[in-house]
Amino acid sequence: MKPAILEILVCPACKSELDLCAASQRGGEVSTGLLRCRGCRADYPVLGGVPRFAPRETYASSFGDQWTWFRRVQLDSQNGARESERALFGTTGWRDADYTGRLVLDAGVGAGRFAEVVAAKGGEVVGIDLTAAVDAAYTNIGGRDNVHIVQADIFALPFREGAFDLAYSIGVLHHTPDPRAAFDRLAAVVKKGGGLAVYLYAAYGPAYRASDVIRRLTTRLPRRLMLVLASAAIPLYWVYRVPALGALLGLLLPISTHPNWRWRWLDTFDWYTPRYQWKFLYPEVFRWFRANGFLDVEIFDDPIRMRGTRTA
């Protein structure tokens, strides 16, 4: 944890300021310590360089396992591709200059794939996650001067209102118990004139219907068993590439058909293990933006990807 983040951190319960008591440090990072609320006197530990405002075992705990097991798969710096950079642009539409010198919130940082891109473009990025994924993210990118990793619940964000110039959540809100409420919390920490972008699963077409039925079973199975079962996507890729047969199988039993075998293993595990997986239509998400005071709402390809600017 870098002490500079105290400028925007507050107690998630009462929104009072926090005092830091560092127990051990490495360079400019606080490795272990305690954050104490000046108002309600609640204590929040700093462990492994990460301030912890949320318990580890939650409705999203599958992602903690996921990003522990697949920590480096989607990092552009590790796979030599620019896929995460392209996905970030596809959701936000923000150019390099939009990040430079800006404070950016990555809501659902996972292993840090998008935060890594933002940091490389000159943004100061704060990545939050509810689960032990924060440890994977901290290992991957937490040592960078312009990266902060925080374990926090999106429904109880430990930040001042209007703290961030930009915020995005890519593939996360639909895995929460109440995506609309999660969106509202995220919108509140974007400053007036700032931007917010989200990517959500779409309720268009029939592709997800069979998998929703299958998920009634897979979400109840032990995750290590699901890790093994999801690995079937690795060889099945070649079967799913067969014309007509692949299209039919894609409706009956969707799997990832990413050309990278590690990536399709990860994506298939990601699809079948989270407890919540909501789908939406464009008009509904558009209303979320407008209800929170966002104008200039733009729609991008590959539903549902949208961004807006909060009214000044």
**What is the per-residue pLDDT across 145-169, written as a single tens digit (0 to 9) for each?**
999 999 999 999 999 999 999 999 9
pLDDT value at position 308?
Answer: 98
pLDDT value at position 272?
Answer: 97
pLDDT of residue 312 exceeding 90, the answer is: no
98 to each of 40, 118, 154, 243, how far by Cα in Å? 37, 10, 24, 42
Give residue limits of the domains in the chain.
1-52, 70-201+280-310, 209-272
pLDDT value at position 59?
Answer: 87
Q: Which two structure tokens, joined as six digits, stand for 2?
A: 């870098």
Domain 70-201+280-310 has CATH 3.30.1490.270: no
Q: Identify the band that residue 16 occupies on the pLDDT scale cut at 50, 70 and 90.
A: very high
Poorest-confidence range of 52-56, 185-189, 217-221?
Answer: 52-56
* 114: CB partners within 8 A, 6+ apart: 84, 87, 88, 106, 168, 170
Degrees, nearest 5: CA angle 268-270-274: 130
**What is the per-residue pLDDT across 81-123, written as a single tens digit (0 to 9) for each?**
999 999 999 999 999 999 999 999 999 999 999 999 999 999 9
pTM over 0.85: yes
299 to each of 86, 198, 200, 306, 309, how far by Cα in Å? 16, 10, 12, 5, 13
Bridge-partner residues for 164, per DSSP? 190
pLDDT value at position 242?
Answer: 96
250 to each of 148, 210, 218, 245, 276, how far by Cα in Å? 39, 9, 17, 8, 21
pLDDT value at position 137?
Answer: 97
pLDDT value at position 57?
Answer: 64
Average pLDDT score over the chain: 96
pLDDT of residue 56 exceeding 70, the answer is: no
| 150: phi then psi, degrees, rounded to nearest 5 | -135, 135
